[in-house]
A and B are shown apart, each in its own frame.
Chain A
């Protein structure tokens, strides 16, 4: 029997999807934005409620499944287990924050902007919730289309090219994944696309090898892992900052999430052969991105490269295949999303007031806007994983995993964290501290709304830093289940 709870996963997709329709149609200025914010708040409420209303059984059982294409063997199956829940929660928090921050900013074709944002949210939730490979692929593409339009229609001058590059990269990666999905599908005993049947299918090592890389490429482009990252700085820089927040806060997590949900449990034998290669790629990317972030003058590009470095660490930790490291990754995915969105909000606030985002042109903002400076400094510290901030626990566990795997990896990755401290602190110093100049003299304290949003993020950061326990409890069960599968082979 279907209880109310069974419908929660589907609700998380339907709510933003249906919310998008009126947003497209609202013509009055500001109306679409307010509607989208309200809609995303409802989604947030439902996402939180889904945790409290959970049944007696453990997470993995809470799923819906409707037969979609019986002849092809696909069903519309969603599962709200620990790992999808924490990412849906990130998604649910991000959108009200993003929309609340940028609300009131005048844009052309507002209705389309907010409608596409909500569509993107629906697609992202679909990716996190799907436990049917075909459904997963469909949502993977569907999350991409609205973001492609968002990134192409609003933003910097070269946005069209940047967004197109992003789109082509991701699409090229995902078609290879489609070939892989089909291949595994044809090997399933019951001619099905369901995750359970995929897990049950045994593939010989030679098959696994190419399938591993087909899937890996799709996810590596999305995260992005070096050397498939070249779309990212351009896309982040050229997009409207609200879109950049979606991209870097939530969307890149699709890749890391998919490693855990799909890649590793499906091809454990190939993992044993290629884990070192993958880790080395991730760590090389971390170092590379950190070095480039050091010399960036553009705030947006700097944050973009810092994001590559952080994602690289998560991906590397996933490939170590250790329980604690995985817990760290899952919790860090959520926390990184919060931190990076906070940073983007800071960049956005500075840019909308002054019209520049060159670090060399800024300085002394703390004198004019002390509250903003304090809040952003905390977020910056969280981004470099200082103890008592949310990112500390996750990064600690990930490093622990890397160290146990191979101390040299941990040393190399640690170097990148030191670098990240250098560039983040440099940024804080050059932007907030020091004397004001002609440009920054006119900087005013940001509005109460923005201070509140940032303060809420800071509270979340500190709370999660001091008391991370609930988050771990949430992800542990599912994470261990999947890990057991990976290790048992």
Chain B
């Protein structure tokens, strides 16, 4: 609760920061302070201290599970801002506006993390999406950025329309928006309600870019300025999955049997499409776009399994994926050329940077002793715990092996190919943040218990 209020307020503060100072540096510093405060606010939520007299009528609820998630996302956002302020400021001029939008997105994230009614879900998704449309278009003179924004906006509003329709149908059958009222089991399964559930499923699949509703993703991620792609593809996506799981666990959990097969199908398609298509990409940025689809496939396993391992696992996955992807994007945002060749010989020129990138890529590939391994581990374990459709787990693991192929292409370029004179210019401060991020990736890979312990509610 604290986190929602604070991040909304700080968004407004950021807008006025643009009036107070024109220096991008100062504006960036202000945003870093703000996001740290949001993290502190989430910490207070966790401790149970919240603003007295605040009644949300049960529409939002923040237990320890949700608060830990928001706290983790706020920390990731802090890392994101530390890494991202530099590239944001590259165009010259102030960056107060995009930073304000980032805070509004955070507000949306907090809302969909704690929603208990479909109304709040809808509000949260919209609050989260609309600033993203603007961020996608932030490179105003770039045609591709405009295209990305338009595509994102059209697809996004379309899926929002579906969601609204689904919500309306469910309200029609149940007479309530509340998740507890929806989750009454078999007897609720009228044709209207079924249609509603399917519509919600499709719209959420759009949001998390699960195949076959993923077509907007590569173009949008590719066209959007890299620094904002990093935000969209990581923290926002993690939050969308969190909401997805919440909706289907708390809202339709008792009907699990009825939509499990559909979810398994979506998962399998997402895994295969994401991984196989990523293999053929010539640009690292586009490869990462497809890899985000592939990783979404892994997170979908949590929705298939819907057990306690999946519940804690999806948060670990979101964090592991976010940390590693942020790291790669931070370097990519500082490069002009996004092709694989641009990475040639990076290890010779900038050994530290190459090493850090390798850690991130190993984590994305799911190699042991990185966070990505235990994230994938949790997903597979959750699936196998169900004891049914073992093939899905096996398929996922084979897809992980395919993933190794395209992630290692970058490693190969950096270490085993000569060429390329100019590397990305990465300041000492940024490198320090990247080192911290890599340490977090390894720490979670050695001891995932440090996060998982707080999620087993």
Give Cα A175 to B449, complex, Å: 22
Q: Is B408 an interface residue (CB 8 A)?
A: yes
Chain A residue contacts of B369, Cβ below 8 A: 138, 142
**Interface: B432 (CB within 8 A):** no
In contact, A152 and B384 (Cβ under 8 angstroms)? no
Least CB distance from A195 to B in Å reads: 18
Asked if A466 lies at the interface with its beta carbon under 8 angstroms from chain B, I say no
Given A69-B447, A142-B368, A168-B404: A175 and B452 interface contact (C-beta under 8 Å): no
| Nearest CB in chain A to that of B399: its residue | A175
Main secondary structure of the interface of A (DSSP, over half): helix
> Are B400's CB and A69's CB within 8 A?
no
A210, closest chain B residue (CB): B390
Task: Return the chain B residue nearest A183 by Cβ.
Answer: B384
Complexed CA–CA distance, A141 and B385 (Å): 24
Chain A residues near B449: list those with CB within 8 A: 69-72
User: Are the CB atoms of B380 and A152 closer together than 8 Å?
Assistant: no
B267 to chain A, nearest CB (A): 15
Residue among B369, B397, B448 with the most chain A CB within 10 A?
Answer: B397
* Most chain B CB atoms below 10 A, which of A137, A168, A171: A171
Q: Chain A residues with Cβ under 8 A from B381's Cβ?
A: 182, 185-186
Q: What mask results when residues 403 to 434 of chain B are scored 1 for a CB within 8 Å of chain A, else 0?
A: 01100100010011100000000000000000
In the bound complex, CA of A283 to CA of B299 (Å): 43
Closest B residue by C-beta to A68: B447
Complex interface: chain A residues within 8 A of B362 (CB): 145
| Residue interface bits A163-185, CB-to-B below 8 A is 1, else 0 | 01001100110011011001101
Whether A138 contacts B368 in the complex (CB less than 8 A), given A179-B397, A186-B385, comes out as: yes
> Residue B269 at the A interface, CB < 8 A?
no
Given known A141-B368, A167-B404, contact A152–B416 (CB-CB < 8 A): yes
B157 to chain A, nearest CB (A): 39
Partner of A71, one of B415, B416, B456: B456
State whether the Cβ of A160 lies closer than 8 Å to any Cβ in chain B.
yes
Q: With A145-B367, A179-B380 as given contacts, are A164 and B412 in contact (CB-CB < 8 Å)?
A: yes
The answer to whether A153 has its CB under 8 Å from any CB of chain B is yes
Complex Cα spacing A171 to B404, Å: 8
A149 at the interface (CB under 8 A from B): yes
- Is B123 interfacial (CB-CB < 8 Å)? no
- B368 lies within 8 A of A137 (CB): yes
The answer for the CA separation of A153 and B411 in the assembled complex, in Å, is 12
Q: Mark A50-89, 1 if CB is under 8 A from B, else 0.
A: 0000000000000000000111100000000000000000
Say yes or no: A152 contacts B412, CB within 8 Å.
yes
Question: Which B residues lie within 8 Å of A70 (CB)?
Answer: 449
A182-B415 contact given A70-B449, A142-B368, CB 8 Å threshold: no
- Residues 368-411 of B at the A interface (beta carbon under 8 Å): 368-369, 373, 377, 380-381, 384-385, 387, 390, 393-394, 397-398, 400-401, 404-405, 408
For the complex, what is the distance from the CA of A196 to the CA of B373, rounded to whole Å? 24
A148 to B387 CA separation, bound complex (whole angstroms): 35
- Determine whether the beta carbon of B394 is less than 8 Å from that of A176: yes
Interface residues of B in 352-376 (CB under 8 A from A): 362, 367-369, 373
Contact B384 A186 (CB under 8 A): yes
Interface residues of B in 160-186 (CB under 8 A from A): none
A415 CA / B303 CA spacing, docked (Å):
55
A372 smallest CB distance to B (angstroms) = 34
Alpha-carbon gap, A159 to B453, bound state (A): 44
Of the listed residues B401, B417, B456, the one surrounded by the most CB atoms of chain A closer than 10 A to its CB is B401
Contact of B401 among A145, A172, A185 (CB under 8 A): A172
Query: Are B368 and A179 interface neighbours, CB within 8 A?
Result: no
User: A455–B453 Cα gap in the complex (Å)?
Assistant: 56
Q: Is the CB of B368 within 8 A of A153?
A: no
Given contacts A71-B456, A138-B369, A175-B398, contact A164 B408 (CB under 8 A): yes
Residue in A164, A171, A182 whose beta carbon sits within 8 Å of that of B380 in the complex? A182
Contacts of B398 in A (CB 8 A): 172, 175-176
Q: Which residue from chain B places its CB closest to the CB of A173 in the assembled complex?
A: B401
- Give chain B nearest CB distance to A61 CB in angstroms: 28
Q: A142-B369, A145-B367, A183-B384 are in contact. Are A178 and B404 (CB under 8 A)?
A: no
A267 to B417, CA, bound (A): 44
Chain A residues in 8 Å Cβ range of B416: 152-153, 159-160
How near does chain B come to A191, taking the closest CB pair, in angstroms? 11
Given contacts A168-B405, A171-B401, A186-B381, contact A71 B367 (CB under 8 A): no
The docked-state distance in angstroms from the alpha carbon of A71 to that of B450 is 11
Residues of B contacting A178 in the complex (Cβ-Cβ under 8 angstroms): 377, 380, 397
Q: From B404, which residue of chain A is reached at the shortest CB distance?
A: A171
Q: How far is the CB of B273 from chain A (nearest CB, A)?
A: 19
Q: Name the CB-closest residue of A to B417.
A: A160
Q: Which residue on B lies nearest to A175, using beta carbons?
A: B397
Output the least CB separation between B159 and chain A (Å). Answer: 33
Given pairs A71-B453, A182-B381, 10 additional interface contacts (CB within 8 A) = A69-B447, A69-B448, A72-B448, A141-B368, A153-B415, A160-B417, A164-B408, A171-B401, A178-B397, A179-B397
Contact surface of B with A, Cβ cutoff 8 Å: 362, 367-369, 373, 377, 380-381, 384-385, 387, 390, 393-394, 397-398, 400-401, 404-405, 408, 412, 415-417, 447-449, 452-453, 456
12 A-B pairs (CB sep. < 8 Å): A69-B449, A70-B449, A71-B453, A72-B452, A149-B415, A153-B416, A175-B398, A176-B397, A179-B390, A182-B393, A186-B384, A186-B387
Q: Which 8 A-B pairs have the closest CB atoms?
A: A175-B397, A138-B368, A172-B401, A160-B416, A141-B368, A152-B416, A182-B384, A175-B401
